[in-house]
């Protein structure tokens, strides 16, 4: 149980103190200074008398010193200042009393002597000082003196003077209050029960009580008398009741402490409130009157801790156990708060109670606390109180996990309490209600995170609170954003978030830009936590929640908006959307496909500016899925081949009726709109689809995609550089494809060759044609061993169906040879057409030869030479040694033709390229494995030329 030592301060301090007219301030300062000077003077004499041990002198001096506190002209703040000074000086008087009482037991004499001080304020201060010393010396007198002093303080009804006097009383007695001792603690429970009974019995009528209790005095404190010097005021009912009980229960001296403190608190609170209603001087203007009131209120707020000290005191008493607090302390405090009707006091005391008493106590008294809230002054900030309580409880729950037993009950009390507040307090601002609901949501998440229904209910309450009224303010929007972030940040799991049915409803209440902020945060949460959402239903809900990112709405920012910030925000959003969809997938193929369809449906309504960005990643997701299906089918075949039908861990593709073909149909569909919008991107995507469908061995589909790519090339690409890059890309893609029947492959090769030959810029043409030459010597070796196995498998499978097919195929590809590489790994040539290959090379040489610029001609010839060496080194028979020799001669010849400007024209990189190629040939001639092959290649002339 933690007990706060610090006196709570009023939470909302008004920093800006209104200026009072300077004259008034000046007067105040003057007055304070003179009173302080007088007190300092008396204080000096007091100290001297104390040093000399003159008791009666010091009583006189102390009385003098205290005279300043009789002032009613000082502002509360200045009075506080003087009070601090005087009460500090009074310590010396206390010291002397303590000394005197040791010499002779004159406690009561001093007590009485002091009373001869004629003025009431000094007298009471001195009495309190003396009283404390007496108690200290003789604890048996505690009850008598405490009650006596409490009564006497009633003699000062002036708010400021009374308040400080009582504070002094509280300060002087703080260490003297009887408390339950360690040894008593064990038997406390028994005592508590006793009290409970007593409380139940306690009659309202005081007189009958007194009579009833008369005979029951048994203990040593029999002789205690209650002094009733001054008439009882109407407000002493409580104390009276307690007195009676005290008489009866002498075993429980600590009860006095509680009653004393509560009583003092109540009285101080009343005085404190009355400061507010003090009369102002009559001779000031209206404006001054207003500012004076404001200043008074501020100064009064500053005095709150005087009252609060009593609460701290109570919380420090060990005797204030949960039971005592619940039955004896809190009800009285709450009653006082409710009755006092003052907004400052109500706010302060309620918050102070929450702050000073242990959270455990609050948990057990929540309904009591909540019962008064609706009835507090309309201007009391209920939100602050509830939020404070929630924060305390969350903190407690976090520090003491599992210590709260009935968590549901707590949330329920809060829910009920809040709804009763909203019913009764019509002035509760919407923003406050939203903050309270946000707090409640946090509490619910802390106490029982598994109860998503609670959160959902609170979201619904938020929606309801918004539905009624007008446009949201900026603060309200921020609060709603915070409410929406609360469960998001807590769960960090979109799979849970999508179960909140009302989440999207609350988002919908926000303006467009805020919907976008929270939706983006939603997706980013998924990306940060890498939460995979694998259920199609959940994906649907997720897209519904964040729909502002996918779809235009009535309040969307218009498309023609030229604002750069808006544009970059839009791109950032779409970038996140694209990344995010890769998290939406399932281990189950059918579910994954369903998810893709859901996404596609949403995307397709997003308008062109979104489609351009969002469709490509969707295509790749689909391709990945097709890849997954293919792998699965491969595994299935393996299993069938092994007759191992027990293994059923994987999806049964026949059951779900899904083949990779469907995926390609799907891609085809979603790409329809893209071709015109983004021809270049579409072309690349079609090639990707061709690659994927080729891997699935879907020849017609792969063919279709290749044709589509070529069609886009033909219809949409106009820029020469792009044309060149893309035809190269088409050719090199085609070069890797394996599913085609050689006839179809051949047809596509023709198209590539045709478009390459049509390129407008000669070097582009040469290089594109050179690329095409590779199409006619297609080699599978990526990686070598796997490729080899795959092609074997393919042939074997075909064998089972039709034994002749293998032969046909082998004939068609003209030649399949196995070629031993240095690593002894087999390489398969898939398709070889020597005539067309050489046709490409010859054409490339011819076009290059027509170029007027020698350096470019040489560069291209050396590139062609390298390509030829590539084919030659494969020993495929496509390019033979004499072809290489001819080409080398041609290069030398072209060089000598331009000998005059050779050095000028041949820039260094081309020269190096030529030299390195020559070096490579030289190396191959030396190398063991290639020695034989390269023997016929003649390099002597080149060597001679280099040496020149």
Is residue 538 within the footprint of another protein (CB under 8 A)?
no
Q: Is 555 helix (H, G, I), strand (E, B) or coil?
A: coil
Of 331 and 628, the one with the shorter C-beta distance to another protein is 628
Q: Is 909 in the site for another protein (CB under 8 A)?
A: yes
Distance separating alpha carbons of residues 676 and 121, to the nearest angstrom = 96
DSSP string of 183-226, one letter each residue? HHHTTHHHHHHHHHHHHHH--S-HHHHHHHHGGG--SGGGG---
Nearer to another protein, 255 or 869 (CB): 869
Q: Does 540 bind another protein (CB under 8 A)?
A: no
- Give the residue among 678, 691, 534, 536 at the shortest CA–CA distance from 614: 678
Distance of CA 3 to the CA centre of its chain: 32
Is residue 361 a contact residue for another protein (CB under 8 A)?
A: no
Q: Which of 352, 779, 840, 878: binder of another protein (CB under 8 A)?
A: 779
Minimum distance from CB of 732 to another protein (Å)? 5
Nearer to another protein, 624 or 880 (CB): 624
Question: Looking at beta carbons only, is 398 or 782 nearer to another protein?
Answer: 782
Taking alpha carbons only, the member of 318, 310, 321 closest to residue 194 is 321
Among 76, 606, 616, 679, contact with another protein (rule: CB under 8 A): 616
Q: Pull the structure tokens for residue 579.
A: 């990344």
Examine residue 850 and tell whether it contacts another protein (CB under 8 A): no
CB-based contacts of 421: which residues, under 8 Å, 6+ apart?
373, 374, 382, 428
Query: Residue length, the chain?
Result: 948
Q: Give the x/- contact pattern for another protein in 806-845, rule: CB under 8 A.
A: ----------------------------------------
Kindly list the distances between the CA atom of residue 421 and the CA atoms of 415, 457, 466, in Å, as whole numbers in the listed order.
10, 17, 17
CA distance 846 to 541: 63
Rounded to 5 degrees, φ, ψ at 222 are -55, -40
The distance of closest approach from Cβ of residue 624 to another protein in the complex, given in angstroms and rounded to an integer, is: 5
Question: By the 8 A CB rule, do 588 and 629 touch?
Answer: no
Query: Given candidates 43, 122, 617, 763, which one binds another protein under the rule CB under 8 A?
Result: 617
By CB under 8 A, which span of 87-95, 365-373, 504-512, 570-578 interacts with another protein?
570-578
260, 593, 703, 774: which one binds another protein (CB under 8 A): 774
Residues 461-480 that bind another protein (CB under 8 A): none
> Which one of residues 1, 25, 290, 923 is an interface residue with another protein (CB under 8 A)?
923
Q: Which of residues 726-755 bind another protein (CB under 8 A)?
A: 728-729, 731-732, 735-736
Q: Which of 782, 804, 824, 900 binds another protein (CB under 8 A)?
A: 782
Q: How far apart are the first and last CA of the chain?
A: 99
Under rule CB under 8 A, residue 582 binds another protein: yes
One residue of 407, 588, 624, 930 binding another protein per CB under 8 A: 624
Q: Are strands 818-820 and 826-832 parallel, antiparallel or unpaired?
A: antiparallel
- The count of chain residues that interact with another protein, using the rule CB under 8 A, is 48
Q: Give the residue among 501, 417, 506 at the shortest CA–CA distance from 456.
A: 501
Half-sphere exposure of 17 (CA within 13 A, CB side): 15
Query: For another protein, which residue of 579, 661, 716, 809 counts as binding (CB under 8 A)?
Result: 579
Work out how close the CB of 733 gets to another protein at its nearest, in angstroms, rounded to a whole number.
8
Site string for another protein, 670-709 (x = CB under 8 A): ----------x---x--xx--xx--x--------------
Nearer CB in complex with another protein: 110/737: 737
DSSP annotation string for 287-344 = HHHHHHHHHHHHHHHHTHHHHHHHHHHHHH-TT--HHHIIIIIHHHHHHHHHHH--HH
For every residue of 68-136, which 3-state class applies, written as one string? HHHCCCCCHHHHHHHHHHHHHHHHHHHHHHHHHHHHCCCHHHHHHHHCCCCCHHHHHHHHHHHHHHHHH
Exactly one of 44, 116, 408, 575 binds another protein (CB under 8 A); that residue is: 575
CA 258 from centroid of its chain's CA atoms: 45
Tokens of 139: 């604890």
CB of 524 to another protein, least distance (A): 11
| Span near another protein by CB under 8 A; candidates 71-79, 140-148, 624-632, 802-810 | 624-632
Half-sphere CA count of 86, side-chain side, radius 13 A: 31
- Specify the residue, 176 or 939, whose C-beta has the smaller distance to another protein: 939
Taking the C-alpha atoms of residue 456 and residue 499, their distance in angstroms, rounded to an integer, is 8
**How far, in Å, CA of 866 to CA of 887, rounded?**
10
Q: Does 530 bind another protein (CB under 8 A)?
A: yes
Quick check: 291 binds another protein (CB under 8 A)? no
**Min dist. Cβ of residue 630 to another protein (A):** 9
| Interface pick for another protein out of 37, 199, 916, 943 (rule CB under 8 A) | 916
Give the residue with the Cβ less far from another protein, 407 or 624. 624
CA–CA gap between residue 4 and residue 315 (Å, rounded): 7
Q: Of the two residues 640 and 916, which places its CB atom closer to another protein in the complex?
A: 916
Show the binding pattern over residues 92-121: x = contacts another protein (CB under 8 A), - = does not: ------------------------------
| Cβ–Cβ < 8 Å for 577, 523 | yes
Integer Cα distance of 46 and 93 in angstroms:
7
Distance (Å, whole) CA 277 – CA 714: 92
Q: How many helices (H) and strands (E) does the chain have?
A: 47, 3
Instruction: Report the nearest approach of another protein to the CB of residue 735 (Å).
Output: 5
Nearer to another protein by Cβ, of 218 and 821: the residue is: 821
Binding to another protein (CB under 8 A) within 852-871 occurs at 863, 866-867, 870
Among the listed residues 135, 386, 393, 583, the single contact to another protein using CB under 8 A: 583
Among 95, 578, 762, 905, binds another protein (CB under 8 A): 578
CA 713, CA 682: separation in Å to the nearest integer? 10
Q: How far is the CB of 795 from another protein (least distance, A)?
A: 20
Q: Which residues bind another protein (CB under 8 A)?
A: 527, 530, 575-576, 578-580, 582-583, 616-617, 620, 623-624, 627, 631, 680, 684, 687-688, 691-692, 695, 722, 728-729, 731-732, 735-736, 771, 774, 778-779, 781-782, 863, 866-867, 870, 873, 909, 912-913, 916-917, 920, 923
């Amino acid at each position: 149980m933690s007990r706060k030592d610090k006196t709570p301060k009023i939470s909302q301090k008004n920093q800006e103190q209104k200026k009072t007219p300077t004259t008034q301030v000046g007067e105040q300062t003057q007055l304070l200074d003179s009173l302080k000077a007088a007190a300092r003077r008396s204080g000096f004499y007091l100290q001297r008398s104390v040093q000399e041990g003159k008791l009666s002198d010091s009583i006189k001096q102390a009385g003098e010193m205290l005279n300043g506190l009789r002032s009613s002209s000082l502002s509360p703040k200045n009075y506080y200042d003087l009070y601090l000074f005087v009460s500090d000086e009074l310590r010396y008087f206390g010291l002397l009393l303590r000394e005197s009482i040791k010499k002779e037991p004159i406690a009561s004499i001093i007590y009485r002597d002091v009373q001869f001080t004629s003025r009431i304020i000094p007298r009471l201060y001195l009495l309190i000082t003396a009283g404390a010393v007496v108690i200290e010396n003789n604890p048996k007198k505690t009850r008598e003196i405490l009650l006596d002093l409490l009564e006497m303080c009633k003699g000062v009804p002036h708010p400021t003077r009374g308040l400080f006097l009582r504070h002094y009383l509280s300060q002087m007695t703080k260490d003297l209050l009887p408390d339950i001792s360690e040894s008593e603690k064990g038997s406390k429970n028994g005592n508590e029960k006793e009290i409970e009974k007593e409380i139940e019995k306690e009659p309202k009528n005081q007189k009958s009580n007194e009579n009833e209790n008369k005979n029951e005095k048994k203990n040593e404190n029999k002789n205690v008398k209650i002094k009733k010097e001054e008439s009882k005021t109407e407000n002493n009912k409580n104390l009276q009741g307690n007195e009676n009980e005290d008489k009866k229960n002498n075993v429980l001296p600590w009860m006095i402490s509680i009653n004393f403190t509560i009583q003092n608190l109540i009285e101080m609170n009343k005085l404190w409130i009355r400061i507010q209603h003090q009369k102002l001087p009559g001779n000031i203007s209206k404006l001054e009157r207003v500012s004076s009131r404001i200043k008074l209120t501020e100064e009064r707020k500053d005095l709150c801790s005087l009252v609060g000290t009593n609460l701290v005191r109570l919380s420090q008493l060990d005797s204030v156990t949960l039971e005592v607090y619940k039955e004896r302390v809190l009800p009285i405090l709450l009653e006082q708060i409710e009755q006092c009707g003052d907004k400052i006091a109500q706010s302060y005391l309620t918050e102070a109670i929450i702050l000073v008493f242990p959270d455990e106590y609050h948990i057990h008294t929540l309904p009591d606390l909540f019962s008064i809230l609706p009835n507090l002054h309309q201007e009391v900030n209920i939100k602050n109180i509830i939020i404070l309580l929630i924060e305390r409880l969350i903190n407690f729950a976090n520090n003491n996990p599992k210590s709260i037993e009935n968590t549901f009950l707590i949330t329920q009390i809060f829910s009920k309490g809040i709804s009763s507040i909203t019913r009764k307090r019509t002035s509760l601002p919407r923003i406050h209600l939203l903050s309270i609901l946000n707090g409640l949501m946090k509490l619910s998440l802390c106490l029982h995170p598994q109860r998503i229904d609670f959160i959902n209910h609170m979201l619904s309450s938020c929606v309801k609170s918004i539905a009624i009224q007008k446009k949201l303010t900026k603060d309200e929007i921020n609060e709603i954003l915070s409410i929406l972030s609360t469960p998001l940040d807590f769960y960090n799991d979109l799979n849970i978030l999508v179960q909140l049915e009302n989440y999207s409803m609350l988002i919908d209440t926000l303006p467009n830009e805020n919907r976008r902020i929270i939706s983006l945060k939603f997706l980013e949460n998924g990306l940060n936590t890498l939460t995979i959402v694998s259920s199609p239903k959940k994906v649907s809900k997720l897209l519904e929640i964040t729909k502002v990112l996918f779809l235009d709405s009535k309040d969307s920012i218009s498309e023609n908006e030229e604002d750069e910030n808006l544009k970059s925000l839009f791109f950032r959003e779409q970038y996140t959307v694209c990344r995010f969809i890769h998290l939406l997938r399932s281990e189950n193929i059918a579910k994954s496909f369903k998810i893709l369809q859901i996404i596609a449906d949403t995307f397709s309504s997003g308008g062109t500016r979104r489609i351009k960005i969002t469709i490509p990643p969707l295509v790749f997701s689909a391709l990945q899925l097709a890849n997954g299906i293919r792998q699965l089918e491969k595994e299935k075949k393996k299993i069938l081949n092994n007759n191992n039908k027990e293994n059923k861990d994987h999806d049964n593709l026949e059951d779900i009726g899904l083949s990779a073909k469907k995926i390609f149909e799907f891609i085809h569909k979603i790409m329809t709109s893209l071709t015109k919008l983004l021809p270049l991107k579409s072309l690349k995507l079609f090639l990707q689809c061709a690659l994927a469908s080729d891997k699935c061995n879907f020849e017609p589909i792969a063919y279709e995609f290749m044709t589509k790519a070529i069609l886009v090339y033909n219809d949409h690409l106009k820029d020469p550089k792009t044309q060149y890059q893309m035809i190269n890309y088409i050719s090199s893609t085609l070069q890797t494809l394996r599913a085609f029947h050689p006839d179809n492959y051949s047809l596509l090769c023709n198209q590539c060759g045709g478009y390459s030959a049509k390129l407008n810029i000669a070097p582009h043409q040469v290089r594109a044609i050179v690329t095409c030459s590779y199409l006619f010597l297609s080699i599978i070796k990526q990686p070598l061993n796997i490729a080899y196995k795959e092609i074997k498998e393919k042939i074997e499978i075909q064998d089972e169906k039709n034994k002749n097919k293998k032969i046909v195929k082998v004939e068609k590809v003209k030649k399949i040879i196995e070629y031993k590489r240095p690593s002894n790994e087999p390489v398969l040539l898939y398709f070889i057409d020597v005539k067309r290959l050489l046709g490409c090379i010859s054409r490339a040489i011819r076009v290059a030869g027509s170029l007027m610029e020698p350096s470019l001609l040489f560069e291209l010839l050396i590139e062609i030479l390298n390509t030829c060496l590539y084919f030659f080194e494969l020993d495929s028979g496509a390019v033979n040694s004499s072809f290489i020799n001819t080409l080398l001669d041609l290069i030398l010849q072209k060089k000598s033709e331009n000998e005059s400007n050779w050095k000028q024209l041949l820039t260094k990189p081309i020269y190096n390229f030529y030299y390195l190629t020559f070096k490579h040939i030289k190396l191959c001639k030396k190398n063991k494995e290639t020695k034989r092959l390269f023997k016929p290649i003649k390099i002597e002339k080149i060597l001679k030329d280099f040496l020149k």
